Amino acid sequence: SQTIHQWPATLVQPVGSPLSLECTVEGTSNPNLYWYRQAAGRGLQLLFYSVGIGQISSEVPQNLSASRPQDRQFILSSKKLLLSDSGFYLCAWSQGVGGKTNYGYTFGSGTRLTVV
Amino acid sequence: GENVEQHPSTLSVQEGDSAVIKCTYSDSASNYFPWYKQELGKGPQLIIDIRSNVGEKKDQRIAVTLNKTAKHFSLHITETQPEDSAVYFCAASSRGHDMRFGAGTRLTVKP
């Protein structure tokens, strides 16, 4: 069966420090991968998605970046964190069958990031 | 692009009552409509979904209806229980990687 792993679960970082959040998926190949951010009590904001290795699409311009070095690995990074980067970060995956068939997303357990 | 609106933003019901959450979408090409439940501090979980060739789908106490003409779909939870308390998100998609989520509904079921 497919599983998604996301870590760390919580993170407290000072303003200006770098960030690296990692997400891996097991039990499937060529998945679509996503990074979402959720502010407290708010909805899901899509940050990045990837349909293949090295293919990254950005939905919102900001000081975050994403990379997909391997088929089932998705990394969210920042060189210098801002206070406004605080939030709940969620990784998700969906079946990437040529983009022609829709499947539900499976979310990871999330990373709560607090920038101080 | 797709725009999904969800109502109400908060909903409080008595245990045993029914709860209904409604969503509208803008893109007529959307053909897949999932619903997610998010408990506090956790990632959203898919609870039910419906495709555009179906008007209604049921799974025990939950059901989803879709009106493609009016571009709206609804989640119905019957015989609500305290463990149904969570935030619920609707979503719509046409190509798989273009899924757009509603703003969420915080459901509280009072014992």
Q: How far apart are CA B63 and CA B57, in angstroms?
A: 6
What digits encode the pLDDT tens for the residues A46-85? 999 999 999 999 888 688 999 999 999 999 999 999 999 9
Tell me the shortest Cα–Cα distance from B59 to chain A, in angstroms: 16
Which of A51, A102, A110 lies closest to B43 in CB terms?
A110
**Contact state of B43 with A44 under an 8 Å Cβ cutoff:** no
Does A69 sit behind a cis peptide bond, omega within 30 degrees of 0 on the bond before it? Answer: no
Res A14 pLDDT > 70: yes
B49 Cβ contact list (under 8 Å, min separation 6): A104, B32, B33, B34, B35, B57, B64
Place of tokens 């046409």: B94
Q: How many CB pairs under 8 A join A and B?
A: 61
What digits encode the pLDDT tens for the residues B29-40? 999 999 999 999
